[in-house]
Amino acid sequence: MTLDKQETRNLYRKRARRYDVAVQFLRLLGLRINRYRQDTIASLHLRPGNVAVELGCGTGLNFQYVRRFIGPSGKLIGVDLTDSMLHVASARVEREGWANIELVEADIAQWEVGLDEYGVYSTLALTLVPEYDDVIERAGRRLASGGRLAVFDMKEPHGWPHWLVRFAAWLNRPFGVSLELADRHPWESIRRHLVEVQFREYYGGALYLSVGERPSSRPFPAP
């Protein structure tokens, strides 16, 4: 059964303090989760001074990777639904002294990406949002010319026996994952609303990275 917005918020309020440790547990299962996150950020082709937006930023695990590209002159906006997750992210930002990171508590299905952002991304979050197609469509329209949108997330792997797929979903149930989410395909939305420039699978097809680019010939939407 999929979770609604309030159920998702309540779940991640409970998980916030131990979320970072729980995510690293996935490494014991052979998932090179930090590498996948870094691949996602690198795929945006960010440069010093760029503005990037993370949809579903959680506790800020990706912030360090983004700052390697945008430097202190750029800006990162992290948006998340859950106040407790943002409290952990805020503590991380303060501890590291990152002055160019802005945190926003909002439902990404309702929040509007600023016009002319160069990079928008989401890691292990967007599939939990029922309105993911609308999110991708709106964000894609507001990207700068040549800007990119990247999604790293889970999907149902082809070729796995059904019992193993069910077991994998059960393992990720603490993060709100269920088999019903397999019907959500954000990578298809990227192909529909942007020009897909990269698609790769990890971990036998259970994880994927899809990257879309706004063509340089596409005009900006009206403000």
Q: In terms of residue numbers, what domain contains 12?
A: 5-213
CATH number of the domain at 72, please.
Answer: 3.40.50.150
Band the pLDDT of 180: cuts 50, 70, 90: confident
104: buried, middle or exposed (CB in 10 Å: 19+, 13-18, 0-12)? middle
Section 3-9 average pLDDT: 87
Q: Is residue 54 part of a domain?
A: yes
Q: Is residue 186 part of a domain?
A: yes
Alpha-carbon distance 69 to 200, whole Å? 22
Specify the range with the lowest mean pLDDT, choosing from 5-9, 98-102, 214-218.
214-218
Q: Does residue 223 carry a pLDDT above 50?
A: no
Q: Does residue 90 carry a pLDDT above 70?
A: yes
> How many domains are contained in the chain?
1
Alpha-carbon distance 172 to 84, whole Å? 20
Q: Is residue 223 part of a domain?
A: no
Residues 6+ away with beta carbon under 8 Å from 124: 56, 152, 153, 154, 175
Q: Is residue 221 part of a domain?
A: no
Q: Is residue 205 part of a domain?
A: yes
Q: Is residue 185 part of a domain?
A: yes
Q: Is residue 35 part of a domain?
A: yes
Regarding pTM above 0.85, the answer is yes
Alpha-carbon distance 64 to 137, whole Å? 27
pLDDT in tens, 123-168: 999 999 999 999 999 999 999 999 999 999 999 888 888 888 887 7
Q: Does residue 99 carry a pLDDT above 60?
A: yes
pLDDT in tens, 185-214: 999 999 999 999 999 999 999 999 999 999
Q: Is residue 165 part of a domain?
A: yes
